[in-house]
A and B are shown apart, each in its own frame.
Chain A
Amino acid sequence: MKRYGMHIDIDRCNGCGACMVACAVENNIPPVAGADDRKGITPLRVYQIDNGEAYPNRRTAFIPMLCQQCGNETPCAHVCPQQAVDVDPETGIVGQMAERCLGCRYCMAACPYHARYFNWWDPKWPAGMEAALNPDVAPRQRGVVEKCNFCHGRRHAAMEKAAAAGKREIDPADYVPACAEACPSGAIRFVDLNAQAAPADSFRLLERLDTDPKIFYRSKKDWVKRNG
């Protein structure tokens, strides 16, 4: 039994955005000319936060925000009328089945982390770029909700590799989501929380909601912790 999650060190994130771009590449998220920060699909989005002061006392930090993979009373799973959201008991991953989704967006309203995105456009790529799509992830049609699923295509590929080798368990090195792999600063670490508990000084976003999120953040800066 796994309990996949992430340890994110905010102090190491420089907001380069490699994780966001890698996520889009991995999940075949199409580029859209008209997409903005409200309508774009960014299952992982890096937000810039600040301490609210003016220069020269202003301080900024970057927080990678993705589906927090709530383990307790998962809000999006509760409200979905289509049962398009499920929580895998084997891994704790909150999955999203685009095939079942009817696009009502109840889950978006229910998500306290704003980590779900509605697909407003048909998937289109610049001429020829379709050849560079990831074969492990099917492009989704417009009218469905999308979210981070810890790169399920990579997990399935790792499971297939393990099965081919006659193993029941996947090798942790074979299953790393694209964002964690791309992060040049090592700020994002993908872990099995059952094997690697979060450091004692880490915190979770909106912990008071008691949804048991599996993304653990760290920072030595007090103002960052207060914002979190």
Chain B
Amino acid sequence: MTTRRAAVQIIAGAGVGALFTPAPWRLVRDTALWSENWPGIPRPKRGPISAKTTVCTLCPAGCAVRARCVGDQPVSLAGVNGGLCPLGVIGHHLPYYPRRVKQGAPEEARAAIAKADPTKRVAVLDLRPGRTASALYRKAMKDQGGLYLAPPQPGASVNLAAAKSVLSVGAPLFEGWLPPAEVFAARDRFRLVQIEREFSRTAAMADVWLPSGDVAEIARKLDGPVLVVDRTMSPAIVALNKEIGGWGQTVQAAPDFGADDLASVADGSIGVLYIDESNAGEYIPWQEIERKLAPNAVTVAFAWSPDGYARHAKFVLPTAVFPEALDDVDGRVTTPLLKAPEGVVDPVEFIAKASLADALKEVKPKEDGGWRLPYTGTLDATASALSTKVYQESNLLLAPRHVAVAPGAGLAENDAAVLETSRGRLPVRVVVDAGLPAGKVRFLGTPEVLDLCGSEEPKVVRG
């Protein structure tokens, strides 16, 4: 008969005995391995590794890019001639942007365009002029008696490599104004004097920073060849370069993109407006465009992100995005690394009824004399889910809807506030930056902020 004592002895003996077998240890190990392989943990794709090269089209710098691919899928991007900017590094993530525009109604857009007021003009706003697609738009508009519009371009091209001294009047020289790898490669060969009210990142890397100064007098004292720059290469700066002998050496005329001047277009005269926003470029505040539109004008935005003109257009048609898109920068044609998803619309085919692929076959590489047209637009650093590293998980960049103010403005860190102009108000969070002069407000130039500000200096008031 089994007694209670015997049962306890059997159970205890089995427990102790089991410790001398591999079973419990295997169980612990297998449990650990199982917990490390939850079904929810993604497994990276395996396959043959290869390298492909292409050209980054996320800004006009057009950096040469080497993509490491698993099969046909790019898994990392690196610069061929030096490093890339943060957006370039994550360029292969853009097709997976959670808020990407995926669907549109091209047939409805065509029907609306067919019904548009024939007495009004057709126009294309090309955010990235100078491409082969731009030439096709321009020709199409010329044939139809329409307008080819582009954002204002800088007043001159610059040759940084030819300069021994650079006098910058607030130009963000090291912040995407010129191709990052090129400007850093040339850095040791020129002396930089930065005149800027704010101690910016470019000011931090300058040899001399001056909050203010007599630009012409300083320029004449510097060792030549001297390059004088401001953000837009304004006529006054170009004239100063000519005066000190830099014309043709460090500064030359900007390429003519043959665009019509938006300011001179009659108000209410545009009946159909196409906006090619498939590539980032300088953003024109919507109010400046809106007043040129006729009542009931048809606006069609070709975009992959919903954050720009897609907020205002009647029709938003999805486009391919780098690295899916076929395009060219400065005579260099991209090699699409990914296939564009179903449903994307080719803006060139839609607007100009032409084949971009055929036109790109005629593109010849340009001779690189070192001349670069500065980029005055904003890179959309929020377009990848991983961009949070630079504004949310660190304080390197201002996050969207955040503004930096100087101490003493009556606002504390992370206060809720309102960015205010005569055009409206936008709720923001405050970052206090002791490096800013009193009264100065720093903000990220996102389309919604640019729409609000235009050329106005915004105020920040307690929310």
Residues of A within 8 A of B (CB): 11-12, 14-18, 20-22, 24-26, 28-29, 31-33, 35-37, 40-42, 45-48, 50, 54-56, 58-62, 98-99, 122-139, 141, 178, 181-186
Residue of A nearest to B35 (CB): A141
Q: Is B235 engaged at the interface, CB distance under 8 Å to the other chain? A: no
12 contacts across the A-B interface (CB closer than 8 A): A14-B201, A21-B390, A55-B435, A130-B42, A132-B96, A133-B75, A136-B44, A139-B43, A182-B79, A184-B85, A186-B82, A186-B184
Contact of A55 with B184 at beta-carbon distance under 8 Å, contacts A24-B386, A40-B388, A184-B83 already known: no
Could you tell me the distance between the alpha carbons of A218 and B185 in the complex, rounded to whole angstroms?
18
Contact of A21 with B42 at beta-carbon distance under 8 Å, contacts A12-B184, A134-B75 already known: no
Give min CB distance, A188 to chain B, whole Å: 9
Q: Is B74 engaged at the interface, CB distance under 8 Å to the other chain? A: yes
A-B contact count (CB 8 A): 196
Question: When the two chains form their complex, are residues B89 and A18 in contact, meaning their CB atoms are under 8 A apart?
Answer: yes
Q: Which of B31-87 contact A (CB under 8 A)?
A: 32, 35-36, 38, 40-47, 49, 70, 73-76, 78-79, 82-86
Residue of A nearest to B199 (CB): A58
Give which listed residue, A36, A42, A125, contacts B42 with CB less than 8 A.
Answer: A125
Among the stretches B155-163, B345-353, B393-401, the one at the interface with A is B393-401
Q: Is B22 engaged at the interface, CB distance under 8 Å to the other chain? A: no
Q: Is B181 engaged at the interface, CB distance under 8 Å to the other chain? A: yes
Q: Is B387 engaged at the interface, CB distance under 8 Å to the other chain? A: yes
Residue of A nearest to B173 (CB): A14
Residue of B nearest to A46 (CB): B396
Contact of A54 with B434 at beta-carbon distance under 8 Å, contacts A130-B42, A131-B45, A184-B181 already known: yes
Could you tell me the distance between the alpha carbons of A132 and B337 in the complex, rounded to whole angstroms?
12
Question: When the two chains form their complex, are residues A25 and B44 in contact, meaning their CB atoms are under 8 A apart?
Answer: no
B284: A residues at CB distance < 8 A: none
Residue of A nearest to B96 (CB): A129
Q: Is B406 engaged at the interface, CB distance under 8 Å to the other chain? A: yes
B89: A residues at CB distance < 8 A: 18, 21-22, 25, 182
Residues of B within 8 A of A (CB): 32, 35-36, 38, 40-47, 49, 70, 73-76, 78-79, 82-86, 88-90, 92-93, 95-98, 174-175, 180-181, 184-185, 187, 199, 201-202, 204-205, 211, 384-390, 392-397, 406-407, 434-438
B436: A residues at CB distance < 8 A: 55
Question: When the two chains form their complex, are residues B394 and A126 in contact, meaning their CB atoms are under 8 A apart?
Answer: no
Give min CB distance, B336 to chain A, whole Å: 15
Residue of A nearest to B77 (CB): A25
B211: A residues at CB distance < 8 A: 56
Among B45, B74, B95, B388, chain A packs the most CB atoms within 10 A around the CB of B388
Question: When the two chains form their complex, are residues B70 and A135 in contact, meaning their CB atoms are under 8 A apart?
Answer: yes
Question: When the two chains form their complex, are residues A40 and B42 in contact, meaning their CB atoms are under 8 A apart?
Answer: no
Question: When the two chains form their complex, are residues B395 and A48 in contact, meaning their CB atoms are under 8 A apart?
Answer: yes
Among A36, A123, A128, A132, chain B packs the most CB atoms within 10 A around the CB of A132
Could you tell me the distance between the alpha carbons of A226 and B133 in the complex, rounded to whole angstroms?
54
Give min CB distance, A32 to chain B, whole Å: 8
Question: When the two chains form their complex, are residues A122 and B40 in contact, meaning their CB atoms are under 8 A apart?
Answer: yes
Could you tell me the distance between the alpha carbons of A33 and B181 in the complex, rounded to whole angstroms?
31
Residue of B nearest to A53 (CB): B434
Residue of A nearest to B437 (CB): A55
Give min CB distance, A146 to chain B, whole Å: 13
B407: A residues at CB distance < 8 A: 54
B70: A residues at CB distance < 8 A: 135
B187: A residues at CB distance < 8 A: 12, 185
Residue of B nearest to A56 (CB): B211
Residue of A nearest to B341 (CB): A128
Give which listed residue, A35, A56, A99, A185, contacts B437 with CB less than 8 A.
Answer: A56
Give which listed residue, A11, A42, A58, A126, contacts B389 with CB less than 8 A.
Answer: A42
Question: When the two chains form their complex, are residues A127 and B389 in contact, meaning their CB atoms are under 8 A apart?
Answer: no
Question: When the two chains form their complex, are residues B85 and A18 in contact, meaning their CB atoms are under 8 A apart?
Answer: yes
Question: When the two chains form their complex, are residues A31 and B437 in contact, meaning their CB atoms are under 8 A apart?
Answer: no
Residue of B nearest to A23 (CB): B389
